[in-house]
């Protein structure tokens, strides 16, 4: 049985930006100095808020955004904040410009996949499901067939309850696996498709909400369903065009039997077929396109071929919103001898709204370092904090942030739980910043291999 999973486009968790919860704007769309994990950069945040609004109102397709600014000024952080603001129902694809260079796939194929992952299709259908609050769940594990010391989930016994009824189901391996992957716990409201076995978690009921967990993800609070556990339900699925491509391609190729479909390029007829089907669904009012965001970080790494592809993609019928970020000024466009602002062709630049990010003041750096320290659960004494602020102002914010973890380990080695200024200084000697490393190489050039 082929499975399409709904949540395939979930935002990838990025360690360095895990403290960011949103754009931190007030009801008038102005940046609150410190909010949602973001500090300062008020104008860029306000601009990003407008972009979020345009995306939510569907008024931006065929256009794009370019975030420009020096290294460590929060471009990637802003893109992550935009993703958080848009929420789970808007596909958001994050990639780096350098990801288009792969030995297995063509550049345009990689970009095409990314574009299609950033396009959601909202499908409405009636399905027969088992729905209820998870009252109990017992997972039976069995030995892994190849690796003797591993076990795999084989079967689960799960009790679902509504206000009126309680039913215990024994579900097979595919369903059990989804239950494990989704981290379904007692108190979650889920439904299981009676025919395909797809599992969906809707949220948690309130009574279970105060149980303390270390789950960063806040789950939606939902009501306990009423009526029978087994019932017809109108289900709204947001799949991506890429999910559908994979589904169609998998049915067509032998390769899918061995589970290698991920590695293969998707044949263009599969995409054509998907587009036609989706167009028909839209005509029948069974589906709607949800334009998501394709965010390409370090966009100066793209080359002319990639840029032309993106320019064309933005003009096609189904186009995602493109957000690019770069820290380059005038630079050569890769794959050409031409120089251009931000190393990008002018016809693409013409279609982009540009948001600048500016270097931080010492006060802003101090706030960001404090937030990061909290996030990484490290304790800084006040002198250590000031040292990091100084390093952040003189070299880069990223460098200061990166020194925190080594400094914590150095403190630990001294038997201290708090980072002192000497730990920061030692960490800085052990791990040098870029300009020092360039100087170092220049000094010792003759001794290095050429
Ligand atoms: N305004 C801010 N508030 C809170 N944290 C921030 C802010 N700006 C940046 N940071 C954090 O500082 C670090 C560096 O910022 P980020 O990676 O976003 O910079 P960048 O502009 O993308 O740099 P580069 O050009 O090198 O890619 C990250 O950990 C980021 O989350
Ligand atoms: Mg960045």
Question: Taking the C-alpha atoms of 376, 379, 383 and 384 in order, what is their torsion angle to the nearest 10 degrees?
Answer: -40
pLDDT digits (tens, 9 = 90+) for 23-48: 999 999 999 999 999 999 999 999 99
The pairing of beta strand 293-297 with beta strand 321-326:
parallel
Q: How far is the CA of 143 from the centre of ligand 2 (A)?
A: 43
User: Tens digit of pLDDT for each residue in 358-377?
Assistant: 999 999 999 999 999 988 88
pLDDT at 262 (0 to 100): 47
SS3 at position 248: helix
User: Probe ligand 1: pick from 74, 360, 393, max atoms within 8 Å of CB?
Assistant: 74
State the closest ligand 1 atom to the C-alpha of 45, by its place in the atom list counted from 1: 1
Q: What percent of the chain has pLDDT over 70?
A: 90
Q: Which ligand 1 atom is the nearest neighbour of the CA of 326?
A: 25
Ligand 1 centroid–CA 77 distance in Å is 5
Average pLDDT over residues 261-266: 60
- Spatial distance between the Cα atoms of 43 and 98, rounded to a whole number of angstroms: 29
Q: Does ligand 1 have an atom closer than 6 angstroms to the CB of 162?
A: no
Reply yes or no on whether the pLDDT at 298 is more than 60: yes
Please report the DSSP string for 199-211 in residue order.
EEEEEEEGGGTTS
Q: What's the rounded Cα separation, in Å, for the pair 309 and 303?
A: 10
| Radius of gyration (C-alpha) of the chain in whole angstroms | 25
Tens of pLDDT, residues 142-159? 888 888 888 888 899 999
Quote the pLDDT of residue 113.
93
Q: Is 396 in the pocket of ligand 1 (CB under 6 A)?
A: no
Q: Which of 111, 112, 115 is nearest to 101 (CA)?
A: 111
The alpha carbon of 397 and the centre of ligand 1 are apart by a number of angstroms equal to 8
DSSP code per residue over 397-432: HHHHHHHHHHHHHHHHHTT-SEEPHHHHHHHHHHS-
Which token pair is 175? 């369903």
Assess whether the C-beta atom of 81 lies below 6 angstroms from ligand 1. no
Higher per-residue confidence, 257 vs 363: 363
402 lines ligand 1 (CB under 6 A): no
| Predicted local confidence at residue 211, as pLDDT | 54
pLDDT at 448: 64
What's the pLDDT at 210? 53
Question: What pLDDT was estimated at residue 235?
Answer: 85
Query: What average pLDDT does the chain have?
Result: 87
Least confident interval from 355-359, 372-376, 437-441: 437-441
Mean pLDDT of 288-309: 93
pLDDT at 258: 46
- Answer whether 326 contacts ligand 1 (Cβ < 6 A): no
Return the best residue to mutate from 43, 72, 97, 391 for the ligand 1 pocket (most ligand atoms within 8 A of CB). 72
Distance CA 450, CA 446 (A): 8
Residue 376 has what pLDDT? 86
pTM of the entire predicted model: 0.74
Q: What is the pLDDT of residue 14?
A: 38
Does residue 40 have its Cβ closer than 6 Å to ligand 1? yes
Please, which residues bridge with residue 323 across strands? 65, 295
Mean pLDDT for 87-106 is 87
Mean pLDDT is highest, among 37-51, 192-206, 246-260, for: 37-51
Residue 400 has pLDDT above 90, yes or no: yes
Identify which of 130, 14, 76 has the alpha carbon closest to the alpha carbon of residue 298.
Answer: 76
Indicate which residue's Cα is closest to atom 25 of ligand 1.
71
* pLDDT reading at 228 higher than 70: yes
Say yes or no: CB of residue 392 within 6 Å of ligand 1.
Answer: no
Q: Is the pLDDT of residue 8 over 70?
A: no
């Amino acid at each position: 049985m082929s499975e399409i999973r709904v949540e395939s486009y979930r935002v990838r968790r990025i360690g360095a930006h895990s403290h960011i919860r949103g754009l931190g704007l007030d009801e008038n769309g102005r940046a609150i100095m410190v909010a949602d994990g973001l500090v300062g950069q008020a104008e860029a945040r306000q601009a990003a808020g407008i972009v979020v609004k345009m995306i939510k109102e569907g008024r931006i397709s065929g256009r794009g955004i370019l975030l420009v600014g020096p290294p460590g000024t929060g471009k990637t952080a802003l893109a992550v904040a935009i993703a958080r603001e848009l929420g789970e129902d808007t596909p958001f694809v994050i990639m780096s410009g350098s990801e288009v260079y792969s030995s297995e796939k063509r550049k345009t194929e990689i970009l095409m996949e990314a574009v299609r992952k950033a396009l959601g299709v909202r499908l409405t259908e009636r399905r027969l499901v088992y729905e209820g609050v998870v009252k109990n769940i017992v997972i039976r594990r069995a030995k892994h067939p190849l690796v003797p010391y591993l076990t795999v989930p084989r079967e689960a016994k799960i009790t679902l309850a509504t206000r009126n009824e309680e039913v215990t189901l024994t579900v097979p391996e595919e369903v059990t696996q989804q239950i494990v992957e989704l981290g379904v716990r007692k108190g979650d409201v889920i439904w299981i498709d009676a025919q395909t076995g797809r599992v969906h978690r809707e949220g948690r009921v309130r009574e279970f909400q105060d149980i303390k967990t270390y789950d960063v993800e806040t789950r939606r609070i939902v009501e306990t369903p009423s009526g029978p556990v087994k019932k017809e339900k109108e289900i709204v699925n947001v799949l991506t065009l890429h999910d559908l491509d994979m589904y169609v391609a998998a049915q067509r190729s032998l390769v899918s039997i061995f589970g290698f479909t991920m590695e293969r390029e998707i044949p263009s007829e599969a995409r054509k077929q998907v587009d036609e089907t989706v167009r028909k669904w839209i005509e029948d009012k069974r589906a709607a396109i949800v334009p998501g965001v394709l965010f390409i970080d370090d966009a100066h790494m793209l080359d002319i071929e990639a840029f032309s592809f993106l320019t064309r993609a933005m003009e096609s019928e189904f186009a995602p919103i493109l957000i690019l970020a770069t820290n380059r000024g005038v630079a050569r466009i890769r794959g050409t001898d031409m120089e251009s602002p931000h190393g990008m062709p002018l016809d693409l630049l013409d279609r982009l709204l540009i948001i600048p990010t500016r270097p931080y003041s010492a006060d802003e750096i101090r706030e960001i370092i404090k937030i990061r320290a909290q996030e990484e659960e490290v304790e800084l004494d006040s002198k250590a904090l000031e040292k990091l602020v100084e390093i952040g102002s003189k070299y880069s914010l990223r460098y200061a942030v990166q020194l925190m973890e080594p400094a914590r380990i150095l403190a630990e080695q001294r038997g201290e739980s708090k980072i002192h200024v000497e730990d920061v200084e030692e960490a800085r000697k052990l791990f040098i910043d870029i300009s020092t490393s360039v100087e170092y190489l220049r000094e010792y050039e003759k001794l290095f291999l050429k």
